[in-house]
Amino acid sequence: MNSAPAPLDRTGLTAALGAYVIWGLMPLYLLLVRSVPAFEFVGWRIIWTLPLCLLIALLRKQWPELRAAFAHRRTLGWLALSATLIAVNWVVYVWAIQNGQVYAASLGYYINPLVNVLLGTMLLGERLTRRQWIAVALAAIGVSLLAAGALTTLWISLTLALSFGSYGLIRKQVAVGAVPGLTIESTLLLLPSFGVALYYAQTEGSSFAVSTELSLAIMAGGAFTAFPLLLFAIAARKLPYSTLGFIQFLAPSIVFILGLTVFGEELNPAQSACFACIWAAAAVFAWDMVARSRKPDAS
């Protein structure tokens, strides 16, 4: 009763799987907007995310929660920090994909679960099972092998891992729902985003005015931003943070495969060894989750 891990929340698990599958397939969407500079694209991405969030909040009758969060200065401060972290994460990720650093982006999200485990155990007092510690060790070996062969792009990987790990931790702790939280984050980033869009319009020319097809693709960024982040926010509040981190192996695995197939990046021996370790770690962790889900609730 006092040491057994709690049963996994199925709603949280489903939300996490949905979020990470969408994020794993994101490079395919970014192929449609690869002509748009990373900073400009992220600006438009935020601009088109906000209307969608406002609509969802309206349909779900969450305006009172939005007003309460805006009126709470401490909550607003934490959401300003989480908004900054996710904006940095988006810019680095888009830049990496556009510049042929798909494996570096993938590595960042392989490192991220280790960051989540560290944050969960050190700051949230979460306990890992013996199988989870085995998975941590296997993942650490794999990441070490891949990092050793990717020192020149490791800044990409570390920035992605640390920014998103910290973002998830803040969203787990702030008492704001998924939709209101993302709505407030998008609102706080709206003015800087308009500034970025205006800068590119006056200097290099706005990508939004190039063609109807490109404009629609840019607008779709709002949906590709809002839906997985909403799912992630739901999962972050319902699952142990360490569990959430290991489910994340799904997204970089998809990205890794896309880099090998669609983007045609060369796979070296260190990357192959890392891939084997990561999948072994994911298998051990999945085994642990299945075993825990079948246990009757002892409470």
pLDDT over 90 at 81, yes or no = yes
Task: Render pLDDT for 130-187 as a digit per residue (tens, 0 to 9).
Answer: 888 888 888 888 878 877 776 677 789 889 999 988 998 898 888 888 788 889 999 9
- What is the 3 state secondary structure string of 120-166? HHHCCCCCCCHHHHHHHHHHHHHHHHHHHCCHHHHHHHHHHHHHHHH
Enumerate the H helices of the chain as residue ranges. Answer: 10-24, 26-30, 38-59, 63-71, 73-98, 102-122, 130-148, 154-173, 178-203, 212-238, 241-247, 250-260, 269-294
Task: Render pLDDT for 197-211 as a digit per residue (tens, 0 to 9).
Answer: 999 999 999 999 899
What is the per-residue pLDDT for 260?
Answer: 87
- Which residues lie closer than 8 Å to 299 by C-beta, 6 or more apart? 1
Banded pLDDT at 248 (limits 50, 70, 90):
confident
What is the per-residue pLDDT for 150?
Answer: 67
Task: Render pLDDT for 209-234 as a digit per residue (tens, 0 to 9).
Answer: 899 999 999 999 999 988 888 888 78
Task: Give which of 103, 70, 113 is closest to 250, Cα–Cα.
Answer: 113
Task: Give which of 20, 276, 19, 16 is closest to 139, Cα–Cα.
Answer: 276
Banded pLDDT at 1 (limits 50, 70, 90):
very low
